[in-house]
Amino acid sequence: MSTPHQQMFFQHLFGIGQLSKEQIEHLVSMGESFIELSRRPIKKAPTLRGKTVINLFFENSTRTRTSFEIAGKRLSADVINISASTSATSKGETLLDTAETLAAMQPHVLVIRHSIAGTCEFLADFLPHTSIVNAGDGAHEHPTQILTDLLTLKTQASGYEGITMTIVGDIAHSRVARSHLLAAQKLGYKVRVVAPKTLLPSQVEQYGCEVFHNFDEAIPGSDVLYMLRVQTERLTDNCSFPSIREYHEAYGLNRKRLALAGDNCVVMHPGPMNRGVEISSDVADSARSRILDQVEHGVAVRMAVLTALCGTAPEPEKRTPRREKAEAAMQAQGKLL
Ligand code: CP
């Protein structure tokens, strides 16, 4: 039977859905303890010396990729960045072959972003000796963004327990919204979702959230207005979207709308934001905005995640399940590899 301390750790981070309330709180608290490191003149600690982290990104990223890189380097890990355009997948290599190739170089952690939901779980079956972190998979999950947001809320007087977070915009295609809906059920904060019907997933109520189509009606009583970018890259032809002007009129956060909120209501956005679409520049740059706090806390939370995972990955071995399976099949046929 595992001890409470061991229960705080896990080999992979696929999503908020896999974590208990205690594990989420532990990672957020660990992240809080790392904030100070980034504010020191010398931003270095030896925690991950001798560990190797590979960032493997098949979608564009500014915040997540850079913060994983900074987090690893500030903790003295060796960090390597690979993007789709510079990897051999651009020459026809499969994702699995690329991942197995990188795993053969014995990294401790692979941080993966991919447009296909479930990519990390799929790869983990073939890479049992490498820890995998989901840095965003399609419209499925983005766990480290949620840990980042929770840390930002923890640094607020209100904390996150019992607050009302109003998530506005393209809920249907948002991995961030989905991960928050899962986290809220575990941690006891309330979520309101606001979107036109075309940008809401079917049966979203099953997550225990309140659903609004009128943004103005959802604002009073909100502690956080959490704005989302419209994920134009994930919109399909049959998903109608109004013009940018119409969208901003109905679902954009501007000063006039912010005035409907209570004095302590804050504004958050996971980024990248489209000024003038889901958020006006004056609100994004206002004293209510916590957007750059989220970015700062993203580094601290990723330090926590890397530290937790590097403490748990099994010792590397040379053979992968795929190779073992292939060898068994060959031997069964009386051949040698
Ligand atoms: N929030 C977020 O995932 O931003 P990036 O796409 O820049 O990583």
Q: How far is the first Cα of the chain from the last one, in angstroms, to the nearest whole number?
A: 40
Measured in Å, residue 298 CA sits from the centre of ligand 1 at: 10
Neighbour count for residue 67 (Cβ, 10 Å): 23
Q: What is the mean pLDDT of the chain?
A: 92
d(CA 265, CA 320): 50
Secondary structure class of 266 (helix, strand, coil): strand
| DSSP annotation of 230 | -
Neighbour count for residue 332 (Cβ, 10 Å): 8
Q: Which atom of ligand 1 is nearest to the CA of 271?
A: 1
Q: Which atom of ligand 1 is nearest to the CA of 65?
A: 8
Q: Judge whether residue 72 has pLDDT over 90.
A: yes
Domains of the chain (ranges plus CATH)? 4-142+295-314 (3.40.50.1370), 157-289 (3.40.50.1370)
| Contact call for residues 229 and 277 (beta carbons, < 8 A) | yes
d(CA 69, CA 237): 36
Q: Ligand 1, from 60, 61, 167: best to mutate by most atoms within 8 Å of Cβ?
A: 61
Mean pLDDT of all residues in 114-128: 96
Q: Which atom of ligand 1 is nearest to the CA of 135?
A: 3
Enumerate the β-bridge partners of residue 267. Answer: 225, 289
Percent of the chain with pLDDT over 90: 81
What is the pTM for the complete model shown? 0.92
Per residue in 275-293, pLDDT (tens digit) is 999 999 999 999 999 999 9
